[in-house]
């Protein structure tokens, strides 16, 4: 959500930003916002003038009534002034209703106009135009066949999809034994990795009110992702970043307390509507998963520096587990409307011989802060909007695919990288189990 002042001062900049995001259908929103803003300000100004006039007339009525005892003509004049006060009062009520109406309509329009993207964002209509920036680690293809990820898990008696379908339907899973333990080991390692970077560990609420949902994401993303609790103003979180940022709603943060650097654990719940390819089945695209997240609330001048730090933390984490990754810069058409700049960290899949997304790092500028009224109080006493950022630390079900494929041996065992061994009871390898 951008500032209405920007539309007033430079509407063409806002239109050009919409074009860069290939959302030409939203171009009329700029003129509609300007018109609603004009009508709203006109109503506010007229109402303000009427209030001032009413105060003056009310004083005049009192004065005339005091004079009416000596001069009957003053009584008639007082009645005329009273009639004017009444008429002005009716008009004022009408204007107050118009103010509320125009403000609500303007807010709805402003919520649909995308955030101004950073000048460094590559321009393109969709994710096929995302740009590879750099690679970390050598992608390798072994000289033996790599099974599908659920087949690898089944070789350790580590997953039950059929049982999950009976209980909850498609898009759910049971993880068991060493695979379940590996899942938790990755989360615990990621938690400690981020604590070691100076982040505060947090377990947030796993549900949130609709006002928070509206504050942290666009309506289209909300409809595509969120599960709503029937009969209540509560939604299951699709990522902990949402409830973590929601914590700051209507808060004024002392400038000296920033930045706030947080790492949160949560289960996540997503609808994941639509058809997906064969490689996105199993535990790649699911309705329920767990995730470790990074969140930063900072001063505007520091947000791009934090953006660079966050995605590099993901690279460092994955490389410590011997997983090759690359950074992929998201193009303008692939950016959600609240994002200023975003990149994906993609892990190498030896089986597919290509990279796939495992982390997403985003700088949202002041978009969430404006919607949720998250402000910073400077040393001079003035307040200004904070900037917010988020990045996936690890989402183990998807991350496990990269882990298992990149650490699989020809005999079917999986090597445990040294950094994970303390979380796996010292185990160095996962050994295949006999079928039951």
**Distance, CA of 186 to CA of 401 (rounded, Å):** 12
Please tell me whether residues 345 and 285 are part of one structural domain.
Answer: yes
Least confident stretch, 23-37, 60-74, 157-171, 261-275? 60-74
Element (H, E) at 7: helix 4-9
| Residue 65 lies inside a defined structural domain of this protein | yes
| Residue 435 lies inside a defined structural domain of this protein | no
Q: What is the pLDDT of residue 325?
A: 98
| Residue whose token pair is 């040393």 | 379
Q: Average pLDDT for residues 108-136, to the nearest whole number?
A: 96
pLDDT tens digits, one per residue of 43-102: 999 888 877 777 666 665 556 555 555 556 666 565 666 667 677 777 888 888 999 999
How much is the CA Rg of the chain, to the nearest whole Å?
Answer: 29
Nearest by Cα to 295 from 267, 266, 261 = 261
**Between 396-406 and 177-196, two packed helices, what is the crossing angle to 10 degrees?**
100
Please tell me whether residues 209 and 315 are part of one structural domain.
Answer: yes
Domain boundary residue, one of 80, 110, 140? 110
Please tell me whether residues 260 and 362 are part of one structural domain.
Answer: yes
pLDDT tens digits, one per residue of 227-271: 999 999 999 999 999 999 999 999 999 999 999 999 999 999 998
pLDDT tens digits, one per residue of 413-432: 999 999 999 999 999 999 99
Q: Are the C-beta atoms of 202 and 264 separated by less than 8 Å?
A: yes
The dihedral through the CA atoms of 12, 13, 17, 18 has a sign that is: negative
* Token pair listed for 309: 């730090």
253 strand-pairing partners: 376
Please tell me whether residues 174 and 36 are part of one structural domain.
Answer: no
| Residue 122 lies inside a defined structural domain of this protein | no
Q: Pinpoint the alpha helices (H) of 283-394.
A: 303-319, 367-372
Task: Report the domain count for the chain.
Answer: 2
Please tell me whether residues 302 and 379 are part of one structural domain.
Answer: yes
**Distance, CA of 107 to CA of 376 (rounded, Å):** 23
**Distance, CA of 179 to CA of 159 (rounded, Å):** 8
Please tell me whether residues 93 and 133 are part of one structural domain.
Answer: no
Q: What is the pLDDT of residue 156?
A: 95
| Residue 138 lies inside a defined structural domain of this protein | yes
Please tell me whether residues 94 and 241 are part of one structural domain.
Answer: no
Q: What is the pLDDT of residue 275?
A: 45
Domain boundary residue, one of 61, 85, 110? 110
Q: Are the C-beta atoms of 398 and 391 separated by less than 8 Å?
A: no
Please tell me whether residues 38 and 159 are part of one structural domain.
Answer: no
Q: Average pLDDT for residues 174-198, to the nearest whole number?
A: 97
Q: What is the pLDDT of residue 279?
A: 47
Q: What is the pLDDT of residue 276?
A: 43
Flag whether pLDDT at 155 surpasses 70: yes
Domain boundary residue, one of 63, 83, 110? 110
* Cα dihedral: 76, 82, 83, 87 (round 10): 160
Task: Determine the structural domain holding residue 47 and report its residue range.
Answer: 4-110
Q: What are phi and psi of 360, to 5 degrees?
A: -135, 120
Contact partners, residue 285, CB within 8 Å, separation at least 6: 171, 272, 276
Please tell me whether residues 33 and 147 are part of one structural domain.
Answer: no
**Between 72-110 and 28-67, two packed helices, what is the crossing angle to 10 degrees?**
160
| Residue 344 lies inside a defined structural domain of this protein | yes
Q: What is the CATH number of the domain that holds 85?
A: 1.10.287.40
Please tell me whether residues 53 and 200 are part of one structural domain.
Answer: no
Per the model's pLDDT, the better-predicted residue between 73 and 160 turns out to be 160
Please tell me whether residues 376 and 266 are part of one structural domain.
Answer: yes
| Residue 436 lies inside a defined structural domain of this protein | no
DSSP state at residue 209: -
Q: What is the pLDDT of residue 280?
A: 46
Contact partners, residue 280, CB within 8 Å, separation at least 6: none
Q: Average pLDDT for residues 309-318, to the nearest whole number?
A: 97
SS3 state of residue 201: strand
Q: What is the CATH number of the domain that holds 271?
A: 3.30.930.10
| Residue 120 lies inside a defined structural domain of this protein | no
* Token pair listed for 48: 């303000």
* Token pair listed for 404: 């298992």
Q: Buried (b) or exposed (e) across 304-322, using 16+ Cβ within 10 A? A: bebbebbbebbbebbeebe
Contact partners, residue 230, CB within 8 Å, separation at least 6: none
């Amino acid at each position: 959500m951008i500032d209405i002042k920007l539309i007033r001062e430079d509407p063409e900049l806002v239109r050009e930003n919409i074009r860069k995001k290939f959302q030409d259908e939203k171009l009329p929103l700029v003129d509609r916002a300007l018109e609603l803003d004009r009508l709203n300000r006109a109503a506010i100004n007229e109402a303000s003038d009427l209030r001032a006039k009413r105060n003056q007339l009310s004083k005049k009525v009192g004065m005339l009534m005091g004079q009416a005892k000596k001069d009957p003509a003053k009584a008639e004049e007082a009645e005329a002034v009273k009639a004017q006060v009444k008429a002005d009062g009716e008009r004022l009520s009408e204007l107050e209703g118009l103010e509320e109406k125009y403000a609500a309509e303007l807010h709805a329009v402003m919520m649909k106009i995308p955030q101004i993207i950073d000048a460094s964002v590559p321009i393109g209509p969709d994710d096929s135009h995302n740009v590879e920036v750099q690679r970390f680690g050598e992608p390798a293809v072994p000289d033996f066949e790599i099974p599908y990820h659920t087949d690898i898990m089944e070789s350790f008696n580590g997953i039950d999809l059929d049982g999950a379908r009976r209980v909850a339907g498609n898009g759910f899973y049971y993880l068991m034994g060493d695979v379940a333990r590996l899942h938790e080991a990755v989360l615990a390692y990621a938690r400690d990795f981020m604590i070691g970077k100076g982040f505060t560990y947090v377990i947030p609420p796993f549900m949130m009110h609709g006002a928070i949902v509206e504050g942290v994401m666009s309506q289209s993303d909300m409809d595509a992702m969120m599960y709503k609790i029937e009969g209540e103003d509560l939604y299951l979180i699709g990522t902990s970043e949402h409830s973590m940022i929601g914590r700051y709603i209507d808060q004024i943060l002392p400038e000296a307390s920033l930045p706030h650097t947080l790492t949160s654990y949560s289960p996540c719940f997503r609808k994941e509507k639509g058809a997906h390819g064969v490689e996105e089945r199993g535990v790649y695209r699911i309705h329920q998963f767990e995730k470790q997240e990074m969140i930063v609330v900072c001063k505007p001048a520091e947000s791009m520096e934090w953006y660079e730090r966050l995605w590099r933390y993901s690279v460092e984490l994955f490389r410590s587990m011997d997983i090759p990754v690359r950074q992929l810069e998201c193009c303008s058409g692939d950016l959600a409307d609240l994002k200023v700049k975003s990149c994906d960290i993609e892990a190498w899949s030896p089986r597919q011989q290509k990279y796939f997304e495992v982390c997403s790092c985003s700088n949202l500028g002041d978009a969430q802060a404006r919607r949720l009224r998250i402000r910073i109080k400077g040393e001079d006493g003035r307040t200004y909007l904070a900037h917010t950022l988020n990045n996936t630390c690890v989402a183990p079900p998807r991350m496990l695919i990269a882990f298992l494929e990149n650490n699989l041996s020809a005999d079917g065992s999986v090597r445990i990288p040294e950094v994970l061994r303390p979380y796996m009871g010292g185990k160095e390898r996962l050994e295949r189990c006999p079928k039951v």
